[in-house]
Structure 1
Amino acid sequence: MATISTQLRNFKEPTREQLNLLFFSLPLDAESHGGDKSITGELEKMEISAVLSLAQQGVEEAYPGKLHLIPPYLAFASLDRKSVRFTMPLCTVRRVERLNARAGIYALSLTLHTGMKIVVQLTSLRPSADLFCSLLREALKAELQRGQMKVVKGFVKACFSEELVASASDDEKDAAKAESPSDSPSDPLCHGGLGMKFKFPGDPRKLREASKTKLWTAYLKTHGRNLTLLRYPQCTRLVQVGLPNRLRGEMWETLSGSLYLRFVSPGVYEQILAENKGRTSTSTEEIEKDLHRSLPEYSAYQSEEGIGALRRVLQAYSFKNPETGYCQAMNILAAAILIYMSEEQAFWLLEVICDRLLPGYYSPSMHGTLLDQRVFESLVHRCLPIIYDHFTAVDVQLSVASLPWFLSLFINSMPMVFAFRIIDCFFCMGPKVLFQAGRVVLLLNYVLTLTWQLLAILKINGEKLLQIQDDGGFIHLMRDYFASLGDSAHPNSSDPRSRAITRFQELLLVSFREFAIITDETIQSERKKFRSEVIHSIESFSKRSAIRNLKTLERFSKEQAGLIYDALFKAICIEPPPASSLPPPSLLTTKDQHEERPETRIGLKTFRFFLSEIATWARTEKIVSNGFQQRIEREIAEHEFIDRLFYFWDTGFRGSLSFQDLVSGLDGVMFNDLMENIEWFFNLHDKNKDGFLTKDEVLTLSESLLFIFRFEIGDAYLGAVSRFMSNAFEYGDALLPRAEGADDDSPTQIESNQPYINLATFRMVVLADEILESFFESDFTSTFRLEPVPDLEVPNSNVY
């Protein structure tokens, strides 16, 4: 959790280029785009004002907006960023022609691999239009050079939308036959996932699958599909009506952008599984525990075929993203999407959901979910104050029920046929990019859709909620409501049309009509308001857990251990350890329920920062003035003594230190008396632990004393170290065995790395000097100070 908090505290606002990439459902890095850095990495990006025209069946639609060249993609968004947009790989463009138009009009006709033509009128000045066309030409040549244009045909052949459009010329009977599971194509899992064999949830007749299929077929034939889908207002309306089961998986990955990842990464999923075959980890162990808890009511997950598919998808994700690994509720999400898509499709969609659409939801700290929970409570307070006040009065926690809704996207809360309708809207309603934490970005409209649904649920059940007196009653009421979503919302109405309206339809109607006033900016503002509070809450929980899970507090109190934790946390924020030493979750050390848990371990560089917080000699402070004001600047000291201390405390010889190591190490020095401190200092410099210091080690020990005394005023301490060295060598030489027949005054020859003085001699030398005796008795221990660490400043920003 420390690493998560560090990311949240140290995030940077997304650049305009990143916002565009995320708006168009594209990854942030060129490699994920499929762009070869040697080719596309050097191509210039550009946007230009344009008017998009699509003439089909005698109807012409024209939308002014911005045309974006983002090699290897071409994208367009209308001026309102809502009416129409598209993202398509350049390799799907087969022909570009300049149309003969009247003077002053610069229009391009793009012919796609499907044969569909779109006309883009460039409305910028002529030089800008010429430059755009020149860049587009170079980008298309690069795609031809990469050979991606040859890949398109094979890729789209496996898309069900192609089969659907191909069957559009047949009669309705043939179209219905193409929809039947019994007449599936040769590779059914590419067209429908586990649902093709184990049936899709719900009754096809009640779900009006044939009607939905017909509507979508007409739209896809007119407005493109899969890699070249044009998202017009009608697309959003059709999504709200519902997606056909056979098309749902493909539309999910098209709307989310995971389709582009799958297109540019052929064979990656299988490669990950092959390279990690037989490998086990904490994540794979957790996955095995949850496999049979994943939608057990669905027949596929009562068979080895379904369990095996789920296992492979979750393991592949954990291997590809080891810092996230596997987290709570991820199994529910993966199990749901596998019903409608193949393993490879599910893998890439899970990647996009966890890393881009809902970052922080599926992580050890669940920081994204916790933040949205806080935002949701605030919106309930604003929009439904009576319900909020009642819940506050009877101490009912909204998060008791709403947290599982957020985590599972309603999949575990309501019948699957309705949950999947909400997920349809989840992928369609957006995206508008507003949040980023490090490199993970939250697309707000995805969460905005959930927020509308949640508020609508509370509003519809308002009267019953006001009768609730405890958390149990709240959960029971919500469970009953979700179970009745298929019932009539107005069973006693005399109007047949009103009686036909289901409670689920009422839910959608209320959410999109009454709560559409909650905009992107609303949630943006709320998240900004509560971000610091959530981070502080996560850090406090992490601190309590870390202290509670220590094997031993040694001689420290819990409060003192908390101060050590604070210093460690600050050091990690300032100097994060390398990624290789940061397995999740974080500072939880020791064993939990007889299971070893991963822990955050710090390296030498971070240790120096940590030590500078608690030891006066481990830092250098100087006053810096700019002529107007003065400030104290702290520099971290680097010395062999600090390095020696790091490895002395690393009793497990792992090259890194845990929170427990630091607590135990500090205990060994902060509670000592005179004799214990002398012995500790001796053992610290006895490198091979043979009970003797060599001459070299005596010199090193003297250098350590000089390092600690370097800020002391006067020559007293320097003289003490000088006398120590003189006495140590005198006593050491006197104790050395003489060679037989040698003169008593003749020096004894000894190698610098041979045993020289033992602990008793070292103790005698120290006690012979008053200054050193005082240092080891109390002064050295007092240089370690456990003090509250000031809160780190949390940057103000509109993103997280």
Structure 2
Amino acid sequence: MSFLGNLQQKVPFFDRIAESFTPALTRDERFKLQYRLPPDEKILDDTNADISFVGAFSKAHARKESGQTMAYVYSGKLYLTPHFLVFKDTFDENSCDMTLNISTVKRVERAPETSYVFALNVTLYNGTKILIQFLGLRYRSEQFCNLLKDKLKENIPVAKKLPSFLDTCYSEFLINKNVLKLTDINTPKAGLGQKYKYPGNPQLSQEKMKLRLWFDYFKENGLNLAIVKNHIFQKLIRVGVPNRMRGEIWELCSGALYLRYANSDEYQNILEENQGKKSRAIDEIEKDLNRSLPEYTAYQKEEGISRLRNVLTAYSWKNPDVGYCQAMNIVAAGLLIFMTEEQAFWCLTTLCENFVPGYYSKTMYGTLLDQKVFETLVSERLPELWDHIEANDIQLSVVSLPWFLSLFFTSMPLEFAFRIMDIFFMNGYRTLFQVSLAILKVNSEDLLQAEEDGMFIAILKNYFRTLDESAHPDSDDPKFKHITKFQELLVTAFKEFNIITDEMVSQERNKHRKRVFENIEIFVKKTQVRQMPKTFHLKESDLSNIYEIFYQSVETYKISLGTGSANMNFEIFSQFLGKFCDWCKPTSNDTDPIFIQQKNDFLHKLFNDWDVNEAGELTLNNVISGLDKLVTKDLMELLTYFFSLFDGDKDGELKREEVLQMSEALLFLTTPWKSGIYVDDLTLKTIEMDIADNIIKENGDSLNSMEDLTLPTGVTINEEKYKNEQIERYLKAASNFLKRSFEYAKSLELPEDFNLIDLSDNEEDDIKKKKFESIKHNAALDPAHPKAIDVATFRMIILADETYEIFFGRTLRESIHVDEPCDADPSKNRALRGMFDGIIADGRRVAAQVRRRVDSVATTKSAAASIHTTGHSETTSNFANTSRDDRFEDLDDFSSELQEEHEDLLDSPWVEMTMEKEDSEGPERKLLNIPTKKENIEQPDESHNLLEFEA
């Protein structure tokens, strides 16, 4: 029990450790990262084996030919992928690291069998011999060999590209010229340094000696696609790669060599397919071309600028999520000094996507994350310096950010930055942390004297300028006196800080990732909200909510990573509106084909109207501008905008088909109220008034003042009655809209050549003709008498209907919940049952209606007495105004304002027809269709008690 109890106490500790580890990668993903293989590779099989490797031009090969013993035998693990044989020894994982592209395999044959060994002899294209001795069960070895045979057959088309690819490798050129003594060979194309010279002094860097060492290594251990890496390979990297070999070695260590071979034509195809195209990335590239290592001669000439432009442009088309980002021009310019355009393109690809992911992205999340990691490592490894930095409020990230982002290219002389890059491509991203820590360590004494950012930066700049000087100029020991500052930096970085591993960096990244991503998202949101178009009806809090809902809907876009498309297509747009618009939320009607058609038609009109650039996608700014039009409180403005959605030809008139489309859209928009799901203001007030009427009836004459009012403790409401009334009212409104639209539409003039051709020649056609004649009498469907309504007529038709007027005046706006957070409780919808409960719970609303009833009764009695005594007609008029239905108090002011500001509406054909037909009954009242209280309020049915109060 004590053991279990102790283990239980340690669970939180284990949880914290688990959270700090690198996010789980699959076995194949880890394998590809470790061996720098192309992304489409995966492990097909693996086995234990012993490997013997004899280079075609090595001393061991000569001994074998003379009958002497072969080379060393390494035990380890052998892996097979679709295009590679990969082997790593189990002794120290550095003695024999072979990544062999099977395109280089010329012949495979079984070695002479013994009683206990199953082996293969593999011969490569240049004569190199590999002996593979399988360990383990025989059937597993046979299985591996059969799979290898299948992959070799499948790879034959790819192997045909090998000769032309080898012509681009400088290592192959060295062997052909100096070993095979071939004369008909050309020097491979190289980087800009071949013409404009390489940075640094070739004599001081001992280029010839380094080249000789690499030449000897290639003879013994193979080259390019069939090289074996061991301890000597790593030492040669640390000593320094010769300039002529640097491009190929960088390709080999980064894995770009394998990508270039697998995609030999892709670079040129990208440039050709996108030639002449414009993009935002290309515009940014053009601005930075002349700021890319301007101190190097090649980038002061068009040749260098042209190569750099091609590489950056091709990558922007290959990876549109990144496109082009700050400092990519610096890195690409450095690569092009040693590489051709195609080589630099693939090396830039692997660098951005594998070595420093997120450094060159829209949000630069990788760089920001690594700055937090670097600060943590400084606080742990250099605590005294870190305390000084914090005490003086020095921003370390301001100093170190350029080191990481430009890979030291802009911080120190290029010849030293390239030496660091040699090790960076071999060891990976931990190199940046090791070198950066060493820089601070070496200069710590001087940095402890700096009390501000400017002095801190100045000390380091001076250090970088003097990297070629002696680190110990006053030393009496000649051995120490000749050690340069750069050599001291390398020793400090890779000896003292060798404890900084990839796993340690990954753990620190995971600790800070969540916080950094949250900060990025907050910053991006603030930036985008500031850059949103000017809105007239949406508040800042509304914009924030819309932003959140928008990016919740566009799930493919990762804000913190800056990847994926930030635009929404029509399908996402429909889902987006369904999150906060009552009329677009999923309902039981979604299975009705007619309803689905109505919904899609209207949403397509909205989508196309908001898509101002006709891109087929909506940006956040498009959505903001569109919603701002829908939530306006100006009724005339909303009606005009709604009209414009259906005016396809923008001629200011709606023809028959367009009116029918609008009618379908109104049926869709009003579905939640037409179905009784939600309640509108008219139903709400009707319920309130009925409750008030029953309260007055219950209290009778005893209700003389508001002090006497006693609200009921419980009410049973006939919900179906009000629901059916609302449904009937909306259906009637839809019917009236079509009827009035075609009744008051103006006739259009037909072209002179328009004629209906009678093609009937039999009895059946005669029947059809009669049906057609009956249809002609319907003005709405008669093609011989087309009609249209303008915006003025449309407004008046809406205003003439109480239901639609309230819908456009308030209901539609309130159904768009842009003011609610994206995670708001969806149960807050104005459903009928919930609204009934709210009315009863809110006694003030009912009390207000009772007060109006009491005041109305008192006024009626006073007016009657006044008429009896004086007979003054003005009192009757005051009484009529006082008793007018309370539901239209707001409309009184609106009607007068409408008449003043839109008197042009009175000239519409509908107004003229109304005045002619209804002159005796009062054209103005009929025009606005404002009913009196007597006409509009139903008298309570005495035979059916709708409201039952508890005793």
What interval of TM-score do these two structures reach, taking the shorter chain for normalisation?
0.7 to 0.9
Asked whether the equivalents of residues 51 and 63 of structure 1 are also in contact (C-alpha less than 8 Å), the reply is yes
Match of 1:223 among 201, 217, 221: 221
* Counterpart for residue 81 of structure 2: 70
SS state of the match for residue 202, structure 2?
A: coil
The alpha carbon displacement at 1:293 in A equals 1.5
Alignment of 1:115-154 (within 5 A): 115-144=127-156, 146=157, 148-154=158-164
Q: Which amino acid aligns with 1:156?
A: L
Aligned residue for 2:191? 193
1:104-147 per-residue CA deviation (whole Å, 9 max, x = no partner) reads 22232322122222222221311110101111112222233x1x
Contact 1:553 1:561 in 2 (8 A): no
The within-5 A match list for 1:320-335 is: 320-335=318-333
Counterpart Cα distance in 1 of 2:666 and 2:615: 28
- Counterpart secondary structure, 2:36: coil
**For residues 741 and 205 of structure 2, what CA distance do their matches in structure 1 show?**
93
Deviation, structure 1 residue 529: 1.6
Shift in Å, 1:359: 2.6
The 8 Å contact of residues 599 and 665 in structure 2, kept in 1 or not, is answered as no
- Structure 2 distance, partners of 1:552, 1:187, is 63
Structure 1 position 784 matched with structure 2 position 782: no
Matched, 1:266 2:264: yes
Using the TM superposition, give the Cα deviation of residue 606 of structure 1 relative to its aligned residue in structure 2, in angstroms. 2.0
417-426 or 781-790, which moves further after superposition? 781-790
Instruction: After TM superposition, give the deviation of residue 228 of structure 1 in Å.
Output: 0.8
The correspondence of residues 679-718 of structure 1 with structure 2, limited to 5 A, is 679-689=640-650, 690-692=652-654, 694=656, 695-709=659-673, 710=675, 711-712=677-678, 714-718=723-727
**Rg (Cα) greater in structure:** 2
Whether 2:497 is the aligned partner of 1:488: answer no
- Equivalent-residue separation in structure 2 for 1:717 and 1:224 (angstroms): 86
1:235 to 233, 236, 246: 233
Deviation at 1:342, TM superposition (A): 1.8
Q: Distance in 1 between matches of 2:133 and 2:485?
A: 46
The structure, 1 or 2, with the larger RCO (C-alpha pairs under 8 Å, 6+ apart) is 1
Instruction: Please give the secondary structure, in 2, of the residue aligned with 1:455.
Output: helix
Q: Work out whether 1:664 is the aligned partner of 2:664.
A: no
Pick closer, same or farther for the CA change 1:721–1:545 going to 2, 3 Å.
same
* CA shift for structure 1 position 414: 0.6
Name whichever structure is richer in strand by fraction: 1
Alpha-carbon distance, 1:768 to partner: 5.0
Query: Residues 251 and 701 (structure 1 numbering): CA distance in 2 closer, same or farther, change over 3 Å?
Result: closer
**CA 1:150 to 1:705, structure 2 compared with 1: closer, same or farther past 3 Å?**
closer
Shift of 1:450: 1.0
| Shift in CA distance, 787/386, structure 1 to aligned 2, threshold 3 Å | farther
Answer yes or no: is 1:159 the counterpart of 2:123. no
CA–CA distance in structure 1, aligned partners of residues 114 and 563 of structure 2:
65
Amino acid at match of 2:626: G
Match of 1:620, SS state, is coil
Q: Could you say if the C-alpha distance between residues 755 and 650 of structure 1 is closer, same or farther in structure 2, counting changes exceeding 3 Å? A: farther
**1:647 aligned to which of 602, 605, 608:** 608
1:565-622, CA deviations, whole angstroms, 9 ceiling, x for partnerless residues?
222121112x659xxxx9x9899xxxxxxxxxxx943221222232233323322389
Check whether the contact 1:52–1:121 (CA below 8 A) recurs between aligned residues: yes
CA pair 91-156 structure 1, distance change in 2 beyond 3 A: same
The correspondence for 1:735, drawn from 744, 750, 762, is 744
Counterpart in 2 of 1:204? 202
Cα distance in 2 for partners of 1:276, 1:738 equals 53
Of residues 412-421 and 458-467 in structure 1, the stretch that sits farther from structure 2 once superposed is 458-467
Q: What is the aligned partner in structure 2 of residue 50 from structure 1?
A: 49
* Amino acid corresponding to residue 731 of structure 2 in structure 1: S
Q: Deviations over 1:292-347 (max 9, x none)?
A: 22111112222222222222222232333344332221211121111112222222
1:358, distance to aligned residue in structure 2 (A): 2.4
- The offset of 1:222, in angstroms, is 0.8
Q: Counterpart in 2 of 1:303? A: 301
The farther-off stretch of 663-672 and 50-59 is 50-59
Alignment correspondent of 1:38: none
Letter in 1 for 2:627: L
Shift of the 317–25 alpha-carbon distance from structure 1 to 2, 3 Å rule, reads same
- CA deviations on 1:368-387 (whole Å, 9 max, x unpaired) are 22222222122222222222
Q: Is the 8 A contact 2:742 2:779 kept in 1?
A: no
User: What's 1:91 paired with?
Assistant: 103
1:620 to 569, 586, 593: 586
1:724 corresponds to which residue? 733
Q: Are 2:510 and 1:528 equivalent residues in the alignment?
A: yes
| 1:329-728 aligned within 5 A | 329-429=327-427, 446-573=428-555, 600-620=566-586, 639-689=600-650, 690-692=652-654, 694=656, 695-709=659-673, 710=675, 711-712=677-678, 714-728=723-737
Name the CA distance, whole Å, in 2 between partners of 1:705 and 1:163: 74
Matched position secondary structure for 1:715: helix
1:17 to 7, 28, 47: 28
Q: Matched residues in 1 for 2:136 and 2:810: separation?
A: 78
Deviation at 1:638, TM superposition (A): 5.8
Mean Cα displacement is larger for which, 119-128 or 301-310? 301-310
Letter matched to residue 34 of structure 2 = F
Distance in 1 separating the partners of 2:264 and 2:147: 27
> Mind listing any 5+ residue stretches in structure 1 that lack a counterpart?
1-10, 34-43, 179-183, 430-445, 588-598, 623-634, 740-745, 792-800
Q: Per-residue deviation at 1:197?
A: 1.7
Call closer, same or farther: CA 1:221–1:717 in 2, change over 3 Å.
farther
Query: Structure 1: which amino acid aligns with 2:254?
Result: S
Work out the CA distance in 2 between the residues paired with 1:186 and 1:329.
Answer: 38
Cα shift at 1:418 = 0.8
Distance 1:91 1:752, change over 3 A: farther
Distance 1:187 1:475, change over 3 A: farther
Q: How far 1:649 moved relative to its partner?
A: 2.6
Q: Deviations over 1:334-368 (max 9, x none)?
A: 21111112222222212222233323222222222
TM-score normalised over the length of structure 2: 0.69
Three-state SS of the structure 2 residue aligned to 1:104 is coil
Check conservation: 2:192, 2:304, Cα contact below 8 A: yes
Distance 2:191 2:161 in 1: 23
SS of 1:107's equivalent? strand
Q: How many residues align?
A: 703
Q: In percent, how many aligned pairs have the same letter?
A: 40
Give SS of 1:74's match.
strand
> Is the partner of 1:390 in helix, strand or coil?
helix
Do the aligned residues in 1 keep the contact of 2:104 with 2:124 (CA within 8 Å)? yes
Over 3 Å counting, the alpha-carbon distance change for 1:507 and 1:685 in structure 2 is same
| Counterparts of 1:411 and 1:186, CA distance in 2 | 35
Structure 2 CA distance for aligned equivalents of residues 493 and 650 of structure 1: 73
Question: For structure 2, which runs of at least 5 residues remain unmatched after alignment?
Answer: 1-21, 61-69, 589-595, 680-722, 749-775, 825-951
SS at match of 1:109: strand
What pairs up with 1:159-178 in 2 under 5 angstroms?
Answer: 159-166=169-176
1:363-415 CA-to-partner distances (Å, cap 9, x unmatched) read: 22222222222221222222222222222222222221211111111111111
**Under a length normalisation based on structure 1, what TM-score does the superposition of the two structures give?**
0.81
Q: Is the 8 A contact 2:746 2:789 kept in 1?
A: no
Q: CA offsets per residue over residues 617-664 of structure 1, 9 Å max, x none?
A: 322389xxxxxxxxxxxx9x9643333322233344443322222222
* Deviation per residue, 1:149-201 (Å, 9 max, x gap): 4432343233221233456669xxx9xxx9xxxxx9975562x4221221111
Given the superposition, is the C-alpha separation of residues 188 and 198 from structure 1 closer, same or farther in structure 2, using an over 3 Å criterion? farther
Residue 500 of structure 1 deviates from its aligned partner by: 1.8
Provide the rounded CA distance (Å) in 2 between the counterparts of 1:283 and 1:99.
Answer: 56
* Structure (1 or 2) with the greater helix fraction: 2
